[in-house]
Amino acid sequence: MSSNNLVNRLLLNSENYFTWVIMMESELDNIGALDLILGTDQQSQQIQESLNRKAYNLIICYLNEDNLSFVSSILNPNQKQDGQILWKILKEKYMSNDISSQTLAFTNFSQVKFSQTPNFVQEI
């Protein structure tokens, strides 16, 4: 007996960066590219280029239409297929150094109550 399970991708939007980044780091780690994207990888140049391209393609799959438009308007032709640059652009867009933004994000996160796993994940 086979089962058909649909898995929805969590696409990055203007309200879910902190949830999205946790999921995305897991996905990047799964393909062996997380250390490269975070800048801690010491592998050969050829392996780094391959992982960087794979990471770019994976990240692109998890962006909504607004973020795809944003990224395509920012990246120049030399930066296409560069996962590290794409990661930095998204991080700069959504990771505010403003303490009030961080406090608001923490407050919203801390008010989420656990009920059932699917509902809880959606609320986060």
User: For 107-124, what is each residue's pLDDT tens digit?
Assistant: 666 666 666 666 655 555
Tens-digit pLDDT profile for residues 71-108: 999 998 888 889 999 999 999 888 866 665 566 566 66
CA distance 62 to 59: 5
Phi, psi of 12 (to 5 degrees): -65, 130
What tens digit of pLDDT does each residue of 29-42 get? 999 999 889 888 77
Q: Are 62 and 20 spatial neighbours (Cβ–Cβ below 8 Å)?
A: yes
pTM for this model (two decimals): 0.64
The 3 state secondary structure assigned to 27-72 is: HHHHCCCHHHHHCCCCCCHHHHHHHHHHHHHHHHHCECHHHHHHHH
- pLDDT value at position 71? 92
